[in-house]
Chains A and B, each alone.
Chain A
Amino acid sequence: CYQTNSKDEL
């Protein structure tokens, strides 16, 4: 989940 961590931000 390293890649998706910051993708949950706007």
Chain B
Amino acid sequence: MNIFRLAGDMTHLASVLVLLLKIHTIKSCAGVSLKTQELYALVFATRYLDIVTDFISVYNTVMKLIFLGSSFSIVWYIRHHRVVRRSYDKDQDTFRHYLLMIPCMLLALFVHEKFTFKEVMWTFSLYLEAVAILPQLVLLQRTRNIDNLTGQYVFLLGAYRGLYIFNWIYRYFTEPHFVHWITWIAGVVQTLLYADFFYYYFESWKNNVRLQLPA
């Protein structure tokens, strides 16, 4: 475990906490894309199939349980919570899941390291995670007033991906045979999707104005 990896995981954890804070405390999911949250739940469900077959560390297992539990409970909150569900921007959150899921599944079936169920699912989760933020970014673009917590949530998620790239660079130079093309390319694509958001996030922060993405 290096500092970039730890910082990345903590940023990821922070993003989830910020989102849960918004949903649980303010009882609002305004500006949060249910589509993205459902895709993340699917990402973790398909990636962490090894939680029952391989033991890596207590840290690893606990974090996996946190990400699985939080992603499914966020989806539950938005769909079923009596108060929270009323704040969901259903008419704005129109991105169609299958446009992302089907190409990712096809790609995972053809481009993978090993053709086993677990490995193809793991690869599918990497491809899907890379694009899962898209419905959220589209929703942000349609939302005129992005509240602070939603902006911070997306910023923390983007920071987590950026830190993972530094983690891979570090591991490449410190560990023998650490070459993972699929993980790296999917991770870089994922981080690049945040570039535009980061630009406007820092602009709004610098000028001390409310975050707004141009349509």
Q: Write the residues of chain A forming the contact surface with B, with a CB cutoff of 8 angstroms.
A: 1-10
Contact = CB atoms under 8 A, between A and B. Distances in A.
B177 A5 contact: yes
Interface string B172-197: 00010111100100000000000000
A5 B180 contact: yes
Interface stretch (B23-31, B59-67, B203-211): B59-67
Contacts of A6: 178, 180, 183
Given A3-B113, A5-B175, A10 B64 contact: yes
Nearest to B5: A9
Provide the main secondary structure of the chain A interface: loop
A6 to B, nearest CB: 5
A8 B175 contact: no
Nearest 10 CB-CB pairings of A with B: A6-B180, A2-B177, A8-B56, A6-B183, A10-B63, A5-B178, A10-B9, A8-B60, A7-B50, A10-B67
Contacts of A7: 50, 54, 56, 122
Interface size class of B (residues with CB under 8 A): 20 to 34
A8 to B, nearest CB: 5
Given A6-B178, A7-B122, A9-B167, 7 more contacts: A1-B177, A3-B113, A5-B175, A5-B180, A7-B54, A9-B5, A10-B9
A7 B180 CA distance: 10
Nearest to B9: A10
Interface in B54-111: 54, 56-57, 60, 63-64, 67
Contacts of B164: 9
Contacts of B35: none
A6 B60 CA distance: 12
16 contacts: A1-B177, A2-B177, A2-B179, A3-B113, A5-B175, A5-B177, A5-B178, A7-B50, A8-B56, A8-B57, A9-B164, A9-B183, A10-B9, A10-B12, A10-B63, A10-B67
